[in-house]
Structure 1
Amino acid sequence: MPQTLETLTRQMGSMESIHSVVRTMKTLSVINSAPYEQAGRAIEAYHQTVLDGLHAFLRSTGPLDVPVHEVSEKVFVVFGSDHGLCGSYNEVLAAHLSAQIASEGGSAPTVLCVGAQMADALADRSIEVERLFLPPASVDGIGRLANLLTQHLDEIRQKAHPSDIAVNLTFTARGDGGGQVTKSVPLLPLGDALLHDLQKEPWESRSLPTFSMQARELFLSLIRGFVFASLFKASAEAMVTENAARLALMQQAEQSIEDRLEALRSDANALRQSGITTELLDVIIGFEALRKTGKKTSAPRET
């Protein structure tokens, strides 16, 4: 069915409105990413401070003999999205976690999920979520989320005592070349490699470290700081990549809309030109008809 000029004009108006919304979403994605990037860089300094504290503790106490407990429960903390317009962000993360759980086998793990849409993606793969957390709405919310997760992990660990728990963080991070990569980072128990490296690292200051707290309490406090910093960093990285995914999707949508607008404008111009040509032809035909009629009327009569 051929379209009229009025129909094309309405379609162009609708597409221009959508184009305005998409451009606004692009701008918001860029604006939102910057504070989360700054938060990620800031927590790196705190994370390093905690590692320095562990280094000082090990330097003062000597090699740490960490008792090995049987792992009775596996816990996965998944950082997803609570908002749409970010493509297959949650689905890719859910597929990665499902494959990891299948490869490890054993009993079903405890899954702590950040983001309602992430929970829906996990439910589609028959992964039960033990508790759902709301993602941060701003940079200030990252600390709130990290605190809540730290407290909940501590509760799970206390319930599992005297056994231990194994905690993994699953989130989407920035990859090389501006891409995105799904990561699964072990959090607890502390890796032997980390403790071994800290024990081997020389103490650079001439003053030997010392402390007045009970060694066990200080060590547990440092571990909580390490867990909090790791959760904070994973949450900030997940928010940056979520906004990056939304930005990429909005760029694709913007390009599609601009192509569609260009096609509509071309069709409207062609239809308008066709209308003008038709009107001109009507005028010319009418003029020619009038001229022929005038010639017949003005012709001399025979006597």
Structure 2
Amino acid sequence: MTDSIASLRHKITSAQDLESVVRSMKTIASSSIGQYEKAVHSLDDYYRNVQLGLSACLSQTAQLERPEVIVNRSQKDAPAIGVIVFGSDQGLVGQFNEVMVEFVVDSLAKLSGNKMVWAVGERVESRLLDTDLKTEESFELPHSINTITGLVGEILIELEAKRDQGLIDQVFLFHHKPEANSISRPVNQQLLPLEEAWQRELVAIDWPSNNLVEVMPDQDQTHRAFVREYLFVSLFRACAESLASENASRLAAMQRAEKNIDEIQENLNKTFHRLRQSDIDEELSDVLSGFNALN
């Protein structure tokens, strides 16, 4: 009986320690969610300025940007489709990476041609390796707002190199996006070539002032600069939204774990008190038996 009580005490102590860890992880996840959501909102004004710049460039162009202008197609071999997938580096996020990989596979199955995939996050990369997709160099997922810019720069350099070599023509971006009614949902976006419908929407944007717009000094150079900024903002936003979604998934997982731990603790405490009471009753019975024997 004593060994059972000692074992239960050890389990109760372990459950309390685990609950403390879970609460700490919940606090960190909650703080991170707010940090990344603020970063996403802070991009709105900057992205608006990039849109206005592209609108000005496209308005002074006789024709909309065509894929041939921004993609080198000199290679004889058919270029592949570049795919950037944001996932997680760490676990305890539920089905976060599994859902993303399934969404990527289903979406790319509708596109013909070879695919060249870049994974951002070790966990999602390991899931992608289990599929038929060809995975290129992976990137380490940043763990703070200050390191997102460096990651985006590395991705842009890699994409530019592959485009200059004529190895890719289209580029698609996959990531999780936070949702109000749910934790998050996987989304995709075509980065390159610039979609014609999207360009027409930019041209239709009303200029915020009555002054005439003039692109200078070099229209083509300015246009390319705004396209690069558009790519930068899109990748930065995708990374921040993915990190916010990852921490939301981790927070939900920790809440479920905390609930399970509370239930386990309640059962352990009930069992402990029952065994302890049984032990006390047995000791009292022994005392009474001894007392009666002496009488």
- Give me the TM-score of the superposition, normalised by structure 1: 0.89
Aligned to 1:97: 104
From 236, 244, 252, the counterpart of 2:256 = 252
Write the deviation string for residues 184-222 of structure 1: whole angstroms up to 9, x where unpaired: 111111111121122223334121112322111010000
Cα deviation, residue 144, structure 1: 1.0
Write the deviation string for residues 64-110 of structure 1: whole angstroms up to 9, x where unpaired: 34335378321110001111111221121111111222222332x11
1:115 aligns with 2:114: no
Aligned to 1:296: none
TM alignment of 1:252-271, pairs within 5 A = 252-271=256-275
Cα deviation, residue 51, structure 1: 0.2
Cα deviation, residue 62, structure 1: 4.8
Is contact 2:85–2:175 with CA below 8 Å preserved after alignment? yes
From 172, 175, 178, the counterpart of 2:179 = 175
Is contact 2:67–2:193 with CA below 8 Å preserved after alignment? no
Aligned to 2:163: 157
Q: Which has the larger radius of gyration?
A: 1
Greater alpha carbon shift after TM alignment, 62-71 vs 75-84: 62-71
Count of aligned pairs between the two proteins? 287
Give, in whole Å, the separation in 2 of the partners of 1:68 and 1:7.
69
1:137 aligns with 2:136: no
Give, in whole Å, the separation in 2 of the partners of 1:199 and 1:106.
31
Greater alpha carbon shift after TM alignment, 230-239 vs 41-50: 41-50
State the SS of the aligned residue for 1:112.
strand
Q: Which amino acid aligns with 1:57?
A: C
Greater alpha carbon shift after TM alignment, 228-237 vs 73-82: 73-82
TM alignment of 1:23-172, pairs within 5 A = 23-59=23-59, 61-69=60-68, 72-107=79-114, 109-160=115-166, 165-172=169-176
Query: Which structure 2 residue ranges, 5 or more long, are not aligned?
Result: none
Aligned to 2:19: 19
Q: Which amino acid aligns with 1:41?
A: H
Is contact 1:44–1:233 with CA below 8 Å preserved after alignment? no
Is contact 2:183–2:248 with CA below 8 Å preserved after alignment? no
Cα deviation, residue 236, structure 1: 0.2
State the SS of the aligned residue for 1:178.
coil
From 280, 284, 287, the counterpart of 2:288 = 284
CA distance 1:191–1:55, shift in 2 (3 Å): same
Q: Which amino acid aligns with 1:134?
A: E
Greater alpha carbon shift after TM alignment, 215-224 vs 67-76: 67-76
Greater alpha carbon shift after TM alignment, 257-266 vs 280-289: 280-289
Query: Percentage identity across aligned positions?
Result: 31
Give, in whole Å, the separation in 2 of the partners of 1:264 and 1:243.
31
After TM superposition, what 4+ stretches of structure 1 lie above 6 angstroms from structure 2? none
Give, in whole Å, the separation in 1 of the partners of 2:282 and 2:171.
75
Is contact 1:74–1:167 with CA below 8 Å preserved after alignment? yes
State the SS of the aligned residue for 2:91.
coil
TM alignment of 1:215-230, pairs within 5 A = 215-230=219-234
Is contact 2:65–2:196 with CA below 8 Å preserved after alignment? no
State the SS of the aligned residue for 1:160.
coil
Query: Which structure 1 residue ranges, 5 or more long, are not aligned?
Result: 292-303
Give, in whole Å, the separation in 2 of the partners of 1:2 and 1:86.
40
Q: Which amino acid aligns with 1:156?
A: K
Greater alpha carbon shift after TM alignment, 146-155 vs 224-233: 146-155
Give, in whole Å, the separation in 2 of the partners of 1:166 and 1:27.
40
Is contact 1:50–1:222 with CA below 8 Å preserved after alignment? yes
Is contact 2:33–2:248 with CA below 8 Å preserved after alignment? yes
Write the deviation string for residues 221-264 of structure 1: whole angstroms up to 9, x where unpaired: 00000000000000000000011111111111111111111111
Is contact 2:56–2:203 with CA below 8 Å preserved after alignment? no
Aligned to 1:238: 242
